[in-house]
Amino acid sequence: MKFFTAAIVSSLLAIASATPTLQCSEADRFGGVAVSPTTFAAGDNVQISADFTCAVQHYGHIPKYTDYYIEVPQGNNGHEPPILLARREPAAGATSDSFSVQIPHAYYFGDASYVVIMDVTFASNGTDGSPYYSVGGVEAPVIITGATN
């Protein structure tokens, strides 16, 4: 009997060590976003990549829609509303998204800090089981050169 128990424990440990565990931080609960290059000017093309692996597998936040903006995260002088770069609907079951977008010829301030924000809309079940939608976001810092104001 001891041998049988030891064999089961040994088998379970082998299976557990062969299966990589998904390590996700609280910051990954809506996904991750990367912008390349991180320094650009109006009219430039940039690549935006999103990774929803942790959001989907660890937190259950399956993206329905994703909105990408250029935004002044703090100290906004009141003259810079977010600028929409793209609105996308990831394919069912997708855990990533990648696309190229041209930076609009908008008015940018030379002394402002900017970020690209990815807002993720995802469904959850309410207390009665009916679905509702929530929005969460993550950001990536960027530098906009050739400011117009």
What pLDDT score was predicted for residue 12? 42
Banded model confidence at residue 23, pLDDT cuts 50, 70, 90: confident
pLDDT digits (tens, 9 = 90+) for 1-10: 554 444 444 4
User: Per the structure block, which two tokens stand in for 44?
Assistant: 């430039």
Q: What is the mean pLDDT of the chain?
A: 84
CATH 2.60.40.1930 fits 24-145, yes or no: yes
What pLDDT score was predicted for residue 25? 81
Contact 42, 103 (CB under 8 A): yes
CA atoms of 54 and 133, how far apart (whole Å): 19
Within the chain, what is the greatest distance between any pair of CA atoms? 79
Going from the C-alpha of 41 to that of each of 37, 71, 145, the distances in angstroms are 10, 15, 5
pTM: 0.80
CB neighbour list of residue 105: distance below 8 Å, 6 or more residues apart: 42, 43
What pLDDT score was predicted for residue 68? 98
Contact 37, 46 (CB under 8 A): yes
pLDDT digits (tens, 9 = 90+) for 58-88: 998 999 999 999 998 876 666 788 999 999 9
pLDDT digits (tens, 9 = 90+) for 82-114: 999 999 999 988 999 999 999 999 988 876 789
User: Is the pLDDT at 126 greater than 90, yes or no?
Assistant: yes
User: Is the pLDDT at 41 greater than 90, yes or no?
Assistant: yes
CA atoms of 2 and 41, how far apart (whole Å): 69
Q: Between residues 19 and 66, which one has the greater pLDDT?
A: 66
Strands (E), the chain: 32-36, 39-41, 45-51, 63-71, 83-88, 96-102, 114-125, 131-145
Residue 18, CA atoms < 13 Å, CB-side half-sphere: 6
Could you tell me whether strands 131-145 and 39-41 are parallel, antiparallel, or unpaired per DSSP bridges? parallel
Q: What average pLDDT does this structure show over 124-129? A: 93
What pLDDT score was predicted for residue 9? 41
CA atoms of 89 and 84, how far apart (whole Å): 15
Banded model confidence at residue 148, pLDDT cuts 50, 70, 90: low
